[in-house]
Amino acid sequence: MSDYTDDYDIIKECLYGDKEVFSQLVDKYKDAVFNFIFRMTGNYQEAEDVTMEAFIQAYKKFKDFKFGYKFKNWIFTIAANISRDKLRRKKIVRMISLSRFSGKDEEDKVHGEIPDTARGPEEILSDNESAARVRKIINILSPKYKEIFLLRYIENFSYEEISRITGMPMGTVENRLFRAKNILLKNRAVFEKE
């Protein structure tokens, strides 16, 4: 049975009155939502608060959930909207911990990475230096490009899913991704000289 079907089963149970099973959805998606929000805001406490607020809103609005829409997309939509509102209010333009960025297609992905403590200190230091370099590069993106870029290349959402999460037309999503990649590629050479 796929996660998609399992999520629907949990949602149906919740709608039929078994609110305790909602915790299974929280357990399943809280880390992904937290990581996404942390990358957007760069603030651990804010990411925790937004994550909790997103799940509280989802719980309160559960009856509004539309079957045919993935729960993961729905919770990311809620979290992204909350985060966007907070970013607008605070004008936060800080960013994430990433490991690498390169040129085209499959190599055109940015991957979030939590250091493996079993590795040696030299490897961890090298990864941290690479992550710091990538953060500098990505930080030049405005929030409107960062959000789309993170959803695509960190969270691996499809263009259609990003369109649903952000409420933007598909063409806008494609355009912002194209522009974000161009901005990053143009500025990459400057950061590589450092």
Kindly report, residue by residue over 126-151, the tens digit of the pLDDT.
Answer: 556 666 666 677 778 888 898 898 88
* 50: pLDDT strictly greater than 80: yes
- 94 pLDDT more than 80: no
* Topology of domain 3-90, CATH: Rna Polymerase Sigma Factor; Chain: A (1.10.1740)
CA atoms lying within 13 Å on the CB side of residue 104: 0
Single-letter code of the amino acid located at 45:
Q
- Give CA–CA dist 20/177, Å, rounded: 39
- Percentage of the chain beyond pLDDT 70 is 70
Write down the domain spans for the chain. Answer: 3-90, 105-192
Second CATH level (architecture) for the domain 105-192: Orthogonal Bundle (1.10)
* Interatomic CA distance for residues 163 and 109, integer angstroms: 19
Which of left, alpha, beta for 167 (phi over 0: left; psi -120 to 50: alpha)?
left
